Structure 1
Amino acid sequence: MSNPYAIVAITKHGVEMARELCEKLPGADLYYMSKFARGDEEEKGIRLFEGSVKLILPDLFARYTGIIQFISLGAVVRMIAPILKDKKTDPGVVVVDDRGQFAISVLSGHLGGANELTRVVAELIGAAPVITTASDVQKTIPVDMFGRQFGWVIESFEHATPVSASVVNEEPVVLVQEAGEREWWTYEKPLPEHIRVVGSAAEAVELADWWKAALIVTDRELSEVESAVLLRNTVVYRPKSLVLGIGCNRGTSFEEIEAVVLDTLSELRLSVKSVRNVATIDLKKDEAGLLVLCEKYGWELVTYAPEELNRVELLNPSETVFKYTGAYGVSEPAALLSAGAEEWILEKKKSGNVTISMARVPGGAGVHAEVAQT
């Protein structure tokens, strides 16, 4: 399956609208009952089916991220009920009535993308979008989707539901942002007064008697004291704010590189989930250990030519590195260039066959740490 969306219809009018929608919606596959075949289905890649649509829904749920059904809402609810798992894995489901008056977000409105898909479908067919998710209706922070457009990931969903309730019920909420993109409030109205934004966990600790729930955007691990106070009803978000500059000897194993990366992050008390990418010299673009590391963690490998690296002023330029690579440093300048930063979190650490540096992508308040040279 290469397309993310499935469009399904079981009535004459539904098929007419579904065919029209499929022409307008990129990345959609169309399914309808064979009795409505027009003869051009094979040419257009349309899938025909016999019998009840209920029989094909389990397969559609497994194969697509979004399902648009031109079927009555009640029928859809009954058919999908037995195959639901949880909101982190179920696809987004949108229902359109037989006259195309309403596009309704039914399932996985946030994580499954049904709310946004509903808006798109409604605009394409001229229907009214129906979205009932409280955070969307109130135009406030959607806890389970916050920062998703930037690649932020939630550390744990354990408190997502009660924190969401605090947000939509207008209880006092503190939002801590120590790292990550700042352009997350997209509504024209001001941020609700019951949500207070602070720049550090320490400030949230001081406000502990005021807030009922917390949203924390940080790339670092909280201290024991912070955790004891802040994690009682909290969702922690990991922004993609860290860049690893890595240099290594040719043929260095993946296992050695990974161990240095994880040990260094642990020493700095920074989250591996906040690593955005690895940066190095272009001589290392085919280094097997680096490629395996990036594949395992889903990181991009960004490389620079020696002349690009030499434009960065280094505190400790190396004649030895220059002799072999043409650059006076690899990990340090690569980290700064890729992050777009002016200073390091970690200038350089040498461990065995690996040299690692670290920089933070500008945008957050930043909490700097140091590791002794080894």
Structure 2
Amino acid sequence: MKIGIISFTSKGACINRKLSSLFQVKGVHLSKFKEEGLDNIESSLNEWTKEQFQVCEALVFIGATGIAVRAIAPFIINKAVDPAVLVIDELGKYIIPLLSGHLGGANKLASELSVLIGGTPVVTTATDLEKCFAIDEWAKRNSLVIKNLKVAKHISAALLQGEVVGFMADVSIEGHLPKGLKYYKANQMETIQGPLGIWIGWEEKRPFQETLWLVPPLLTVGIGCKKGTSEAQIERLVKQILEQYHLPIESVGQIVSIDLKKNEEGLNEWANRNKKSIRFFSALQLSQVEGEFTASSFVKQVTGVDNVCERAAVLGSYGGKLLVPKTSLDGVTIAIAIAIEGTYKVQFDETC
């Protein structure tokens, strides 16, 4: 986790140094004081904040809340993309999650910081105060992507009012559902009458009158490409396939290919831009994958294995089912596999 820390006084700099050391990140000190162990910055606070919003997952302001509010105001977009922002007073007594408490992880980070420096976290989100299930925080903890933040707000509001919210999932569930959620099995979909509910699955379904869709990263995309293939070429085919099969990009958990493509700039650029992990397998590993695949003598001559994208997708999903067979366009081949049932689990625990 990349954290930007900034302080404004000599006392605040003491906390800055401590946190910077504990988190092993560079502290940045902006004030008339020159404190040992901290870097002064040449740019303005506005410029520093803008840069941190683009590269950091969390920002910590050690000083007055008003300074932080004015600094971040021009750069706030929405809680789905904004980093966590926290404020700590210069004595370290209070730690305030100011922005992105749940999705950005500010509340959780405030709790962690309180242990490190002994301060008191000041949490103001209603679900935390009422000890109510927070759908956005839980989704983030389970690597689920919220497709509609407006419906997520309706879910939270309903739970705070003591209403029952339906729950249905196409993944394995561990633990007990928190108060307010009512579980429905897949074969009950036609009988559901609830006005509001949650659906977890890689396919969009609307079992409730108003359904919050949470997308798990169940899909593995196998990619083969010619040397020098551009990011744009890969993007074109990925987009085409996802649209054709009605698959959200959020359902893609990882990209896989053969190790000969480790240094393919276009492939790595696409993975980085879309924030997808990427794994590579040897020709030997791919050749040992069991199943029927679209063979190519040319591909085998070049890579040592008769198929890259399909074999990589199945191997990367730990023997999953091939959902989309090999598709080719402009020097790129793509196949998609889905993890076998029960591989992906979401967890409910006492913190829900």
TM-score range, shorter chain: 0.7 to 0.9
Q: Which residue of 1 aligns with 2:177?
A: 191
> How much has 1:135 moved relative to structure 2?
2.7
* CA distance 1:133–1:28, shift in 2 (3 Å): farther
1:103-131 per-position Cα deviation (integer Å, ceiling 9, x unaligned)? 33333322343212211221111123232
Matches within 5 A, 1:1-374: 4-10=3-9, 14-27=12-25, 29-31=27-29, 33-34=31-32, 37=33, 41=35, 43-47=36-40, 58-64=46-52, 65-71=58-64, 85-88=76-79, 91-97=83-89, 100-179=92-171, 182=173, 190-198=176-184, 200=186, 203-204=188-189, 206-207=191-192, 209-210=193-194, 212-222=195-205, 226=206, 230=208, 233-249=210-226, 257-287=234-264, 290-316=267-293, 318=295, 320=297, 321-349=299-327, 353-362=331-340
Contact 2:293/2:311 (CA < 8 Å) preserved in 1? no
State the alpha-carbon separation in 1 of the partners of residues 265 and 24 from structure 2: 36
* CA distance 1:44–1:153, shift in 2 (3 Å): same
- Corresponding residue SS for 2:135: coil
Count of residue pairs the alignment pairs up: 337
* CA distance 1:290–1:121, shift in 2 (3 Å): closer
State the alpha-carbon separation in 1 of the partners of residues 138 and 75 from structure 2: 24
> How much has 1:143 moved relative to structure 2?
2.7
1:165-209 per-position Cα deviation (integer Å, ceiling 9, x unaligned)? 123333211233225x856x7xxxx43242124454x745532x2
Contact 1:7/1:22 (CA < 8 Å) preserved in 2? no
State the alpha-carbon separation in 1 of the partners of residues 145 and 122 from structure 2: 27
> How much has 1:243 moved relative to structure 2?
0.8
What letter is aligned with 2:149?
A: F
> How much has 1:308 moved relative to structure 2?
0.6
- Corresponding residue SS for 2:167: strand
Contact 1:282/1:303 (CA < 8 Å) preserved in 2? yes
Contact 2:139/2:146 (CA < 8 Å) preserved in 1? no
1:292-351 per-position Cα deviation (integer Å, ceiling 9, x unaligned)? 543443334422211111111222473724344322332222111111134322344456
What letter is aligned with 1:235?
A: L
State the alpha-carbon separation in 2 of the partners of residues 276 and 13 from structure 1: 44
1:139-187 per-position Cα deviation (integer Å, ceiling 9, x unaligned)? 54423334324543322323232222123333211233225x856x7xx
State the alpha-carbon separation in 1 of the partners of residues 3 and 313 from structure 2: 35
Alignment gaps of 5+ in structure 1: 50-54, 367-374
* CA distance 1:358–1:90, shift in 2 (3 Å): closer
State the alpha-carbon separation in 2 of the partners of residues 128 and 57 from structure 1: 26
RMSD between aligned residues: 3.8
- Corresponding residue SS for 1:148: helix
* CA distance 1:319–1:347, shift in 2 (3 Å): closer
- Corresponding residue SS for 1:279: strand
TM-score in terms of structure 1 length: 0.73
1:218-250 per-position Cα deviation (integer Å, ceiling 9, x unaligned)? 22244xxx4xx64x5333222222111233455
State the alpha-carbon separation in 1 of the partners of residues 128 and 282 from structure 2: 46
- Point out the more displaced range, 233-242 or 58-67: 58-67
- Corresponding residue SS for 1:117: helix
* CA distance 1:365–1:3, shift in 2 (3 Å): closer
> How much has 1:262 moved relative to structure 2?
2.8
> How much has 1:274 moved relative to structure 2?
1.5
State the alpha-carbon separation in 2 of the partners of residues 165 and 309 from structure 1: 49
* CA distance 1:60–1:280, shift in 2 (3 Å): closer
State the alpha-carbon separation in 2 of the partners of residues 78 and 194 from structure 1: 35
Identity among equivalent pairs (%): 26
- Corresponding residue SS for 1:334: helix
